[in-house]
Chains A and B, each alone.
Chain A
Amino acid sequence: AQTVTQSQPEMSVQEAETVTLSCTYDTSESDYYLFWYKQPPSRQMILVIRQEAYKQQNATENRFSVNFQKAAKSFSLKISDSQLGDAAMYFCAYRSRETSGSRLTFGEGTQLTVNP
């Protein structure tokens, strides 16, 4: 079974600064997806960024980028130019690509605070 670990329960960053959230995972599969989701107090999970394991290039979405280290099974999220609206709970998640319809496996989450 796959596991996802987020070792930082809480992180804080000053507005306009950069912060990195850590995530490690364990799997015996070679083909999979990794995701970062944001969950504000409204509870709705919002996809931030997605990485396909077979792609060596790190995914980027505007101010959000990842550092994907497949051999180390590490998948960190970097948020540049942090904004007050970035404050939320962030979850790292894994999904197998080897079977269609497979579930998401989530980490425990990192609560991000953005200070003005």
Chain B
Amino acid sequence: GAGVSQTPSNKVTEKGKYVELRCDPISGHTALYWYRQSLGQGPEFLIYFQGTGAADDSGLPNDRFFAVRPEGSVSTLKIQRTERGDSAVYLCASSLIRGVRNTEAFFGQGTRLTVV
């Protein structure tokens, strides 16, 4: 696609529910990143995929958070037993990696998650 697409744009869920956030990266981009941005803060890294595998998941805050990228393209961030503290904007970015060169990261418009 022309850019990184994230759906839904906004999501309101009740505490304790399960949510899935989707990211459709730029076609051909091998690297995909998830970031979380709390109100008034800079984005914080969650997880990085190179192809289908999670190359770095050290930013996931706890085991309620999980992400997949089964075919090396679309990724889904899954949050179980949501808590009010999970409320934030979840940003996805993609880039093209060739060897040790990593091109610019392109971001989507994010999903604003509100847990009530």
- List residues of chain A with CB under 8 Å of any chain B CB: 4, 42-47, 50, 91, 93, 95, 99-109
Q: How far is the CA of A45 from the CA of B6 in the complex (A)?
A: 13
Inter-chain contacts of B27 with A (CB < 8 A): none
A37: nearest residue on chain B (CB-CB)? B107
Question: Do A101 and B107 have beta carbons less than 8 Å apart?
Answer: no
Q: Which residues of B are interface residues toward A (Cβ below 8 A)?
A: 31, 33, 35, 40-45, 48, 50, 55-56, 59, 89, 91, 93, 97, 99-102, 104-105, 107-110, 112
Contact indicator B109/A108 (Cβ below 8 Å): no
Q: What B residues does A99 contact at CB under 8 A?
A: 100
Q: How far is the CB of B110 from chain A (nearest CB, A)?
A: 4
Q: Is the CB of B56 within 8 A of A106?
A: no
Interface of A is mostly: loop
Q: How far is the CA of A50 from the CA of B95 in the complex (A)?
A: 15
B56 touches A103 (CB 8 A): yes
On whether the beta carbons of A91 and B102 are closer than 8 Å, the reply is no
| Nearest-neighbor residue (CB-CB) of A93 within chain B | B42
Contact B109 A42 (CB under 8 A): yes
A43 to B, closest residue via Cβ: B110
- Known A45-B107, A47-B104; judge A109-B97 contact (CB<8 A): no
Enumerate chain B residues within 8 angstroms of A46, measured Cβ to Cβ. Answer: 107
